[in-house]
């Protein structure tokens, strides 16, 4: 596994954790921001052939 893949996976893990916390706290703005970040990271991974779980 390369550094790029590791970085994408790490950033996704952090974003998903933050999203769960934002939703629990009722912070809709942060949840929307993190959802967009997750979508962007998943798109970046897909564009570069990085396999991710669905």
What pLDDT digit, counting tens, does each position of 1-53 carry? 699 999 999 999 999 999 999 999 999 999 999 999 999 999 999 999 999 88
* pLDDT computed for residue 53 by the predictor: 82
Note the helical H segments in 1-54.
3-25, 28-47
CA distances (Å), origin 25, targets 13, 19, 21, 37, 45: 18, 10, 6, 19, 29
């Amino acid at each position: 596994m390369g550094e790029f893949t590791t970085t994408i996976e790490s950033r996704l893990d952090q974003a998903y954790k933050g999203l769960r916390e934002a939703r629990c706290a009722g912070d809709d703005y942060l949840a929307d921001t993190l959802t967009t970040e997750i979508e962007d990271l998943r798109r970046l991974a897909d564009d570069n052939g990085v396999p991710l779980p669905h």
